[in-house]
Structure 1
C-alpha cells in the first residue's frame, strides 16, 4: 500500500513538465565554472595536509606481529663465546684476501663452506651492457634434516658495503653463523648462505639464475625450494657499531611483508642489552631540541623512505628479492661514538640473526598475514594503505573536476538560454580531433625517446656512429656468441642519448606550435578542450600509478596539479606565453634533471647512469614512466600555451 502511494506520487511529480528558470540555471553553471579551480586547489592542499599529518603519532599505529607462529625472541639461543672467536678468526682471514681478485675471494668462501659440510658452489657471471662487469658469487645450502627441501631461507652478504668499505664483519658473521646452523638439527627449512660480488649485479645474477630467468649467461647449481625470507648483512669494517639500520625498500616501490621488519625490531629490542634500531642510516635527528622533535623526526624518516620509493631504486641489495615475491630486509651496522655504552659487535649480531632465523623457521606458510603496503615513520610505528591512499584520490579529483568543467562549460561567460525548457542533450559542438591529435603526436614522440634512451641503444648503435671520432677510447667486449661490441665511453654515450632526446622533445613542440600558428583563426584548434584532455589524462596517470607505486603518484601530483591548473591558452599575450613556457620547461624531465643535479651535487651523467642501470639491471619502471607518460603530457601542456580558447 505504501509502495503504491509512493509510486503514484513519483509518477505525478515526474509527469508534470516543470519550467526551468534559464537565468537561475545560468547562475548555477557560472558558479560551477568560476569556483571549480578554487575547489580543485582546496582539494590539493587538503591532500598535502593529510600526508603531512601521517607521521604524527595520533594518526599512525604501533606495529605488531600478525603471524603468531613467528614467536620473535622466545627461542633459546646457542650463539656463544666459541662462535664469537670463530667470527674473529674469519675476520682476520678476510682482511688478508679482501683486496684480491673476485675468483680468489669466492674460492676462499667456497672452501670454507665445504669444510663446514655444506653443499657449495661458485657462480661466475658477466653483466653485458653499458658498464660490462664480471664477478664470482659463492653460495652454499644447509639441507634441513626435518623437511623435504621445498622451502628455504637466505642469509646473504655482499663483499662491498653501502658505505664503500669492505663488508668484513658482515661476511665474518655469516661464516660463523654457517657453522652454528650446521651443528643444529632443529631446522625445518633449508638455509642458503650467499656471498655476492659486484653488489646489485651479483645479487641480480644469482636471483635470475636461481629462478631460471638468467640474463647474465651463468649457471647456478644446486637448488633448494621456494625462498620464504631473506636477511642481508651489511656490517662494514672491523669495528663495533652503535645503531642497527634497517633498509627495506625494493624496486618500483615494492615492500616486504611488515612482519619481517617487526620480527627484526622485536628481536633487537628483546636482546640483552637491547640494540638501538633506526630506519636507513639516519642516527642523528636533525630536529633535535625542537618543540616538535618527535613529529619532525618521524616525518624525516618517512620522506627518506619515499625518496627511495619514488625513483623505484632499491635502497639495498635485499630490495632485488622483492621482484620474485621474496620478503627481504638488509640490516646495516652504523658506526658511532656518541653512545659508547651501547656499542655491539659479533655477539649481539650473531644472536640477533640466529633469533630472527629461528622465528622464520617457525613459519608454516609464506608471509601473508601482515601488510605489504605501508609507510614507516619509525621502526615501531606504521601507516596502513587505508590511511595514506585518500590524498591520491583527492589529487586525482582536483584534476578531473576541472577537466569536466572545461569540457562541458568551457571558459567563456555563460548566458541564459532563450527557452525555459531544458534540452535533453547539448547541441554545442566540441572540437576534440585537435586535442586527440596533439596527445597522439606527443606520446609517439615519448615512445621514440624511450626507444632512444634504452641502454642497449647507446652501446650498440651510438658507438658505431661515432667510432671514428673516439677510436682511441673504444672498449671491446666479447660475448658468449663470439660477437665483439664496440662501446663508447659511458659519459659520451649517455650525453648523446640525453641530448638527442631533448632535441626530439623540443622539435615536436616547435613543429606543433608552427602548425597552430599557421591557422591562427581556426576554431578547430581549441586549447580549452586540449587542456581538459590533458588534465583528465594526468588524473588517470596519478590514480593508476599510485596503485603500483604510491610515492611516485604523490610526487607526480605535487609537480603537476597546481601548474597544470594554472596553465591556459595564451592567445596573443607574449609575456604570459613566456612565463608559462619557462614554468613547464622547469617541470619537464630536462628541467627536473638539472634541478636535482644542482640540489644533490651529482653530475647529469651520474644521475642518468643510475637511472639507466636501474632500468637495465633491476628492471625499474621509472624511466618508462618518465618517457612514455610524464614527458608527453608535459609536451602537450607546452603546446597548449600557444593555442587559443574557443570554448
Structure 2
C-alpha cells in the first residue's frame, strides 16, 4: 500500500516507523522474550500470595445481611438446662458401652421423649474392599411459626473427625433440642441430626435429603429418609468430645471448608464469630491457629493452611457434605483448656440459630469465595485470583511461544552483494526502497512453514485419555493393592515418556515441529483447565500450577543447541543453556505426581496406603475431583514433558 504523506517531514517519520516495526518483528531479542515473560508470571504469581496478608490487600470481616442481627438477642440457655445437659452426658457415656442397636434405640427414645418426630437412616458404602456402614438418627422439630418450606440443621456426630466419641457434643445437641422445643419463636423447622461419623454419615443423610428414593438406591446403598422438611438454609455442627466429667475449653475453632474447596457464605461464619467473641467472649480461631497474634507471620500461616486444606478438597467435618448442595454449614470445635464451659457453647449455638431464624431468604449477599487470614480478616476473590491466573498465564505464554516456533523454519542463507546488505547489532540488513527514500530492513531469518497437526493432536488426545488408567486403578482397586499400584504408576511415569518418544520419533517419524506442537497443545490444555479451576477451587489450581511449573520450560535434553533456539553459540551461552536445562530436568523429575504424593505422606506423617484409601473414598462417595485433576490433567502434561525431554535422543543420526 503506498504511503500518503502531506510533507517530506511526515513522510520521513512514517518511513522510519515502518523500518523500526520491521526490525522489531524479526528481532532475535523479541523471539527470546517468551521464556522470560513466562518465568516472570511464575515468580509474580507466587509472590502475589505473600502480599495478601498485608492490610492493603485484605479487609475486615463484616455482616452483609442486615436481617441476621447477630448477637442482638438475649440468650436464655442456662440454669436448669445445665442439669439436663449433665444428665444427658452421663447417658451418652453409658451408651458408648452398649451395642449399636441399643445405642440407636436410646438416642431415638430421648428424641421422642422430647416430643420430636424421629427416624433412622442406615447406610453402607463399599470402597476398595472396605465396608463403611452406620446408622444416622435424626428428628424433626416443627417450627410453630413455620410453613414447612425452610429448615435448619443442628448436628453432632457420634464420632468426630478425629475418631473420638463426641460425648458432650451429642449431649449438648439433645439438650438444645429439648430447649428449642419449649420456644414458639421458630419460623423455620429444626432438624436434629446425630450421624454415625463426621464424614460419611452426614454425606449419606444430606445426599438422601436432596434425592428421591430411586436416585438414592440407584447407585448408593443408602436408605431414603422417612422424614423431611423444607429447603435447608444452614447447618451447624458441634464438636465437643469431652467425657462425663466435663472439661472447660479456651476457644472455638470454626471449621468451614467443604467438598472440592466449596465455602459457606461468609455471613454465616461472621455471624458465628461475632456471637462467640462479641456476645459470649469466646475467642475464635481458624485452621487450628489458636495463638494468633494478628502478625504477618500468623496471617501467612493461616493462609497457607487454608490453601492446603482447600486444595485437598476433602471433608474437614460433618459440615463439609452440605456444601455441594448449596447449604451453608460450619462446625464449632472446642480447643484448648480455658474457663468456658458447655453453657457458653450452648448460648452461642442458641444465638446462631436465632440469627438464622431471622433470615427472610437464603444467604446470598456476602462472599462465597474468600481466604481467611484470621477470624476477623479475609481476602476477597478479586485480590487473590490474579495469583492463580498468573500461574495459568505462565503455561499459556509458553504454549503460544512453542506454537509460533512450530510455524517458522530457518531460511537457507544467501549471499548478498556488499552494496546492498550490511550487518547491525547481529541482524542481517537489506536496503529497501520506500517511496523516495532507501532504508535498511532486516532480512527474514525464518520462513513460514505448514504445520502438520494430525499426529500431535492424536498423541495429545491419547496421552490425556491414558491418564484415566492410573485414576481408575487408584480409586477402584482393593486397598491391599493400592500401594503396589502407586509404585507401578511411579515406575511407568519414568519409563513411559521414553517409550512414547521412541514411538513418535523412530516409528512415526515425528519432526521437531510436531513435538513442539504436541507440547504446545498440552500446555494450552493445562493452562485452560487451571484458569477455569481457579474460579471454583483457587487453592487446587494454584498448588497444581506451582508443582507443574517446570513443564513450561522443558526442552529437548540432548539437543540444547537446536535451530529453534536463537541464542548465539558462544561458550558462555552454551554453558548457561545447558545448566538451565539440567536444573529444569532435575526439578521435572522430582516433581512428578507420584513423587509429590510420596513426599506429602512423609511430611504429614501418614502411610501411603491410608492416603490412597482416603482418596478412593473421597472420589467414590463424595465426588472429590482432586484425583481427576492430578491424574487426568497434571500427569498427562508431565508425561508429554518427558516426551519432549527425550525426543532428540531418538532422532536418526545423519
TM-score w.r.t. length of structure 1: 0.84
**Aligned partner (choices 621, 628, 649) of residue 624 of structure 1:** 628
Task: Give the distance between the partners of 1:441 and 1:416, measured in 2 at CA.
Answer: 43
Displacement of 1:514 in angstroms is 1.8
2:520 is the alignment partner of 1:532? yes
Equivalences for 1:510-521 in 2 at 5 Å?
510-516=498-504, 518=506
Provide the secondary structure at the position in 1 that maps to 2:364: coil
Equivalences for 1:200-599 in 2 at 5 Å?
200-212=199-211, 213-214=215-216, 215-237=220-242, 238-272=246-280, 274-285=281-292, 294-336=295-337, 340=338, 343-409=339-405, 427-455=448-476, 458-459=477-478, 490=479, 492-502=480-490, 505-506=493-494, 508-516=496-504, 518=506, 523=511, 526-561=514-549, 563-572=550-559, 582-599=586-603
Task: Give the distance between the partners of 2:138 and 2:525, measured in 1 at CA.
Answer: 48
Task: Give the distance between the partners of 2:254 and 2:470, measured in 1 at CA.
Answer: 37
Change (3 A) 1:396 1:412: farther
Task: Give the distance between the partners of 1:398 and 1:587, measured in 2 at CA.
Answer: 17
CA-to-aligned-CA distance 1:361-397 (integer Å, 9 cap, x gap):
0000111011100000011111111111112222222
| Alignment match, 1:181 | 180
CA-to-aligned-CA distance 1:530-584 (integer Å, 9 cap, x gap):
33333322221221111221111111221123x1233111235799888655533
Displacement of 1:412 in angstroms is 8.4
2:57 is the alignment partner of 1:59? yes
TM-score w.r.t. length of structure 2: 0.84
Change (3 A) 1:159 1:417: farther
Change (3 A) 1:521 1:346: closer
Displacement of 1:524 in angstroms is 5.4
Q: Is the 8 A contact 2:554 2:585 kept in 1?
A: no
**Unaligned residue ranges in structure 1 (runs of 5+):** 1-5, 460-489
Task: Give the distance between the partners of 1:108 and 1:546, measured in 2 at CA.
Answer: 47
Greater C-alpha Rg: 2
Change (3 A) 1:513 1:138: same
Displacement of 1:299 in angstroms is 1.0
More moved, 610-619 vs 404-413: 404-413
Displacement of 1:176 in angstroms is 0.9
Q: Is the 8 A contact 1:137 1:206 kept in 2?
A: yes
| Alignment match, 2:41 | 43
| Alignment match, 2:418 | none
Displacement of 1:19 in angstroms is 9.4
Provide the secondary structure at the position in 2 that maps to 1:601: coil
Q: Is the 8 A contact 1:445 1:505 kept in 2?
A: no
Query: RMSD over aligned Cα, in angstroms?
Result: 3.1
| Alignment match, 1:140 | 139
Change (3 A) 1:418 1:357: same
Change (3 A) 1:55 1:233: same
Tell me how many residue pairs correspond in the alignment: 590
Displacement of 1:125 in angstroms is 1.7
CA-to-aligned-CA distance 1:377-435 (integer Å, 9 cap, x gap):
01111111111111222222222223222322469889758796999x97322343443
Displacement of 1:308 in angstroms is 1.2
Q: Is the 8 A contact 2:248 2:340 kept in 1?
A: yes
| Alignment match, 1:482 | none
| Alignment match, 1:614 | 618
Q: Is the 8 A contact 2:523 2:637 kept in 1?
A: no
Change (3 A) 1:417 1:632: farther
More moved, 75-84 vs 226-235: 75-84
Provide the secondary structure at the position in 1 that maps to 2:327: coil
Change (3 A) 1:522 1:383: closer
Displacement of 1:506 in angstroms is 4.9
CA-to-aligned-CA distance 1:589-635 (integer Å, 9 cap, x gap):
11111111222221211111111111112110011111211111100
| Alignment match, 2:566 | none
Q: Is the 8 A contact 1:256 1:372 kept in 2?
A: yes
Task: Give the distance between the partners of 1:626 and 1:396, measured in 2 at CA.
Answer: 15
CA-to-aligned-CA distance 1:254-306 (integer Å, 9 cap, x gap):
0000000000001012234x001101322235xx7xxxx71110111111111
| Alignment match, 2:606 | 602
Task: Give the distance between the partners of 2:58 and 2:262, measured in 1 at CA.
Answer: 20
Displacement of 1:503 in angstroms is 5.5
Provide the secondary structure at the position in 2 that maps to 1:643: helix
Displacement of 1:497 in angstroms is 3.5
**Unaligned residue ranges in structure 2 (runs of 5+):** 412-426, 435-440, 562-577
Q: Is the 8 A contact 2:530 2:541 kept in 1?
A: yes
Provide the secondary structure at the position in 2 that maps to 1:31: helix
Q: Is the 8 A contact 2:164 2:241 kept in 1?
A: yes
Q: Is the 8 A contact 2:490 2:595 kept in 1?
A: no
Task: Give the distance between the partners of 2:393 and 2:50, measured in 1 at CA.
Answer: 19
Task: Give the distance between the partners of 1:146 and 1:105, measured in 2 at CA.
Answer: 33
